[in-house]
Amino acid sequence: MHGTWLRRLPATYLLLFAAAGAALVQCARAPDPQITTADGSTMLLLPAGEFLMGGMKEDLVGVPGRNYLNFEAERPRHRVRVSAFYLDKYEVTNAQYRRFLAAVADGGGEAYEHPDQPANVGHQQQYLTDDMLGDDQPAVGINWYDAFAYCRWAGKRLPTEAEWEYAGRGSGEEYRKFPWGNQEPDAEGIWWANYRPASGAARDGYKHTAPVGSFPDGVSPFGIMDLAGNAEEWVQDRYSVNYFRHSEGAQDPAGPAAGEKRVAKGGSYGTPSWHVRLASRFWGKPHNKGPRVGFRCARSLD
């Protein structure tokens, strides 16, 4: 009975119905769990979720300067909701960054720059030693404007601080001091991250940056690599000491609306274990380049 009226429709209408149905199926299809983007990056899909952002004072027992204002800025722990998004599995490498430099050198680089990009200042890396120039090592020696421009050139964006920390912690109530859990970065005879041990800068195998993905045991719950150590990572947010006191329950918090400084996360090859915690909040002026700072990109689903 219900199919009788369909059989009476002209073939053209039936084809239109079929096309519309196919389009609806296509629209309803779940996003791919992994994609490869034009800059050659592997990006992983992080599902929407809720987690507790920030650190605990107990993590700083025995840490020099544990009462510094910068450590106070990690608290309080607060609940945050994050929409689904894609994140680079690895930090952006030197090889990728060189392709970006070559592209902007050919002209048109202004289209990718932030409106506040300093005039007559290029995007070249600085402060690199010979053992930091490998194609598969993270691109460091850059400032926030460089990272912003690269992500825009690649059709992506910088992650927010909340997205970055969510990528390391996973969803839910479980507390992770580091992406792999709560063990120290050299626990159980395993080197979980490229950082600066107290006993010597190269004890983990690398005095400076390591090729991305060199510490597979340090993978995050979502499969993201090198969130702790190797290179500090610029994120989108401006920095404020008090911001976490005002973002409880926020959906996709994007940081303060104003401020000169930008946030960097994750610590580096040159920082001790307490600085490669997920809660650590570094900051820098966006025009300053540093030998320890790199980045990775994110992409929204819409």
Q: How do the domains of the chain map onto residue ranges?
A: 1-30, 33-300
10 Å CB burial of residue 108 (0-12, 13-18, 19+) is exposed
Measured in degrees and rounded to the nearest 5, phi and psi for residue 257 equal -75, -20
DSSP assignment of 111-154: GGS-TTPPTT------S--GGG--TTSB--SB-HHHHHHHHHHT
Q: Name 270's Cβ contacts closer than 8 Å, sequence gap at least 6.
A: 196, 201, 208, 291, 292
SS3 6: helix
Q: What is the pLDDT of residue 15?
A: 41
Helix axes 144-153, 94-105, angle to 10 degrees: 80
**Per-residue tens of pLDDT for the chain, all 302 residues:** 444 444 444 544 444 444 444 444 445 689 999 999 999 999 999 999 999 999 999 999 989 887 778 899 999 999 999 999 999 999 999 999 999 999 999 887 889 999 999 988 899 999 999 999 999 999 999 999 999 999 999 999 999 999 999 999 999 999 999 999 999 999 999 999 999 998 888 999 999 999 999 999 999 999 999 999 999 999 999 999 999 999 999 999 999 999 999 999 999 999 999 999 999 999 999 999 999 999 999 999 97
SS3 content of the chain, % helix, strand, coil (to 5): 25, 20, 55
Asked if residue 76 has a cis previous peptide bond (ω within 30° of 0), the answer is yes
pTM for the complete prediction? 0.90
SS3 79: strand
Residue type present at position 82: V
Give whole-number Cα distances, 272 to 21, 61, 72, 186, 295, in Å.
Answer: 56, 14, 18, 11, 19
Beta partners for residue 157, in sequence order: 298
CB atoms within 10 A of CB 243: 18
Domain 33-300 falls under CATH 2.60.120.560: no
